Structures are given as C-alpha cells and as structure tokens.
Structure 1
Amino acid sequence: MTSNNETSSYWDYLFTELADHRTSNWFLLKDPVPGLTILVTYLFFVLKWGPAYMKDRKPFDLRKVLIAYNFVQVICSSWLLYEALDGAWLHYSWKCQPVDFSETPEAMRVARGVYIYFLTKVTELLDTIFFVLRKNERQITFLHLYHHAGMMAISWGVAKYYPGGHGTFVGMINCFIQFCIAFIHNGQLLFYSCGYPRWSVVFTLPNSIFFYYLFADFYKKTYKGEVKGSNGMDKKVH
C-alpha cells in the first residue's frame, strides 16, 4: 500500500504539480499515457502490421487524400508561423525569453499556439502511414521515425510544462536551419539567466545534434553513393 501511495505521489508530482496549470488538463496533455499509446500504436503499424497487411495488396491511390492533407498542413503551418511571429517573437527578447505563466490574453495566445503545434506533430504521424499504404517502405528510415516520434514527444513536453518563452523559437525553423539557429538559441540558455529553465538544453541540444547527424548520414548515403562509371571505375554521384 505504501509503495502504491508513493508511486501515485510521484506521478502526481511529475504530471500535475510540475506541469503548467493552464495547459495541464488539455486534450492529450493530462498525462503521458495517451501520447505513448499513440506512439506505440504508430510504430507497431508502420513497422509490423501495416507492411504485413499490404504485402499482397496493391498500393492505395491516395492522391486526393494527400492533396487535402498537405493543404491542411500548409494552412496550419502558415497560421502557426504567423502566431509565432505576431504573438511572440516580434515582441520577445531574442537573447533570452522566460515563459509567461500568467493567464493574460497574450500569454494564453502563445500557450494555445504551442498546443496546436503539438497537435500538428500528432497529425504528421500520418506521413508514415501514407508511406505504408502506398507501399513506399524505402522512405520509412530510422531518421524518419526518429524525427516524427521525437518531435511529437518533445512538443508534448513543451506544451505541458513550458508553453511559451524561448523554447517556442524551435517551432519556427526547419531542417538544417532549425538545427543551426536552435543550437545558438538553446546554447544561450547556458549563459543568460532569465527564468527559462537551463536544464531544458539537456533534452533539446543533444536532440538537435543527433538529428543533424542522422540527416547528414542519410544525405550522404542517398545522394553521395558510389556508382560504376563506363570504364568500370567507381565514381561519386553528386
């Protein structure tokens, strides 16, 4: 009984007391169980059940579905970029910006933007599901899975604990540019004390470095592979 009480106490401390009270009970944010269930189901489908189901079937024609899906993603991304700029970074300190945990309209606007960003990361898991249904398994690389699962997990943590402040900068950037600028801005947290948690760098900085390494390795293998020339000698494809 004591052990169960201690476990419950730790659980409440981690996912209730430490969380931002404004967003803590929003859909999918109350505790990690729903999010983990989604990720486990996603990985099981794209790695096991989906390929097995499609093995003896023709690829689905998802052209119209993909057009609609991509259109919605573009609209969401455009809106989030506008919200990030107009609601935050046109007013934020670019050196270091703490999270505003108040319930002012400005602070809640940023918190909602972070939450919507997290929800878009959930919907982007459909990218991989579409690959499976179209039998494009070659595109389902470790890099691809790591990126989608990692972004959903990290954005969940940001939305639940620190929905605002300096961490929102990462949501505005992408691919290599995302790595470079996030590296600089997250690194600044080590040298400036402004109320934004320095320990967050322990999660965001290694993730940025690891993701860059995976992207560079993927690029090298995909676009820098060796092929045979007409004289039988190996040559690089650039």
Structure 2
Amino acid sequence: MPEDFSQISFIIIASACLVFAMTSFIAFMVVYHRGKQLKNKQHVQQLTLEFQKALADSEREIQEQTFTHVGQELHDNVGQLLSLIKLTLSRPDEEARNESRHLLAQCIKEVREMSQSLNLHWAHALSLNDFLEGELLKVKRATQITTSLEGESRLDLQDVQKKIILFRILQECLHNILKHAQAHHLRVQLEGRHITLHDDGIGFNEEEVKLGAGLANMRHRASLIGARMVWYSESGKGTQVQISFNL
C-alpha cells in the first residue's frame, strides 16, 4: 500500500511538473512570438519612414537639378533662339520670315519641354529608356563626352514613387561620372532587370578609396526600392556601376 501511494504521488508530481513546463514553454513562445511581431512591425515602420524620406529627398533633388538645367537652357538655348529670331525679323525678305517662323516654332517646343520637366508628373508616363535618353542628351550638350544607350529594360516601373527614386539614383551616377571620371565615352546598357553604366575614365583603386557618404546613400536608396548597387573599378581603366533588381 505505501508503495502504491508513493507511485501515485510520483505520477502526480511528475504530471504537475510536466504541465508546468509545457505551460511555461507555451507562455514563453507566445511572449517571444509577440516580441518578434513587434520588432517586425517596428522594422517595417522604420523602412516606410526611410522610403518616404528618400522619396522626398529624391523629388527635391530632381527639382533642384531641373531648375538648374532650365536656367542653363533659357540662357544658352532659348536665349540664342530669340536672338536669332530678332535678327531674322530685321530682314524684310520672305526667306527671313520663313526662317523666323521655324526658329519660333523651335523656341516654343523648347519652352514647352522645359515647362513639362518642372512638374514631376512627367515620371508617370516616362519610360526608363526615354529618361536615360534625355539625361544622356544633357550630358552631350554640357560636355565633350560621347554617349550610347544599348538594350531594353524589362523592369516593371508602375510604382511612380520607386521610379522617381531610381531616376534620382541614375542622375547621381551620371553626375559623379561628369565630376570625377574624366571620361571620353559613357555607355549605358539595359538588360532585363539590370542597368549598367560604363565609363572609360581614370577609375579608382577600390581597396584604397572608401565609399563616401554620397555613394553609400545611393546604395541605401537602391535597397529601399528592391535593388542592389555595386561598383567595379580599376585605376586607369574606367568604372562600371550596376543596378540590379531582385524582383
């Protein structure tokens, strides 16, 4: 009888310990899971805030660059066209009047294009190819660098916000090439979900040159839109920048 009582007591105590252990484990898993959910929610909120900040910064920087470009175009291009129109109007012959009409039409076209560029709504309809063609045309007008655009992109750029950030990243890449590369030719390749910029400039030694804040910022912006950005360079052999989208 005492042995049966001891066995029953052991079973009861063991069962109680097992129930306590299981209850503690379940409680721990619930707390752990909720903590993980909270961390994930905070991480998503942080990424959302970073994305919105990157978008706002990109819009502001694009507008600033656009204002600078428009100012230059008004001075160098539209101003020159108006001067030519003034000269042709001073001549009374029919050929001069026809030339004035042609120059005036060209001037109106230039002003209309500049007006459209001041509004970021152009990003809704503009394709990646068209955007790069316009940016490379600016490079050719402003410098002696020759340019080429090859291939077609298969990127789905329906999200206008991500498109604006991508466009700004590409503008920054081109600006860095103009400022630092000392290049003679710039080649942009589009292949699937990859965008690659090659220049034949002086390059840099990747082991000796640390990524500055500007390059790190571009890489971070790329990550916010689901892309990876890498640089390949060698002193005297130019630089290659590749932006690859994961999705």
User: What range describes the TM-score normalised by the shorter chain of this pair?
Assistant: under 0.3
The alignment's TM-score, normalised by the length of structure 1, stands at 0.27
**Structure with higher RCO (Cα < 8 A, 6+ apart):** 1
- The structure carrying a bigger strand percent of its residues is 2
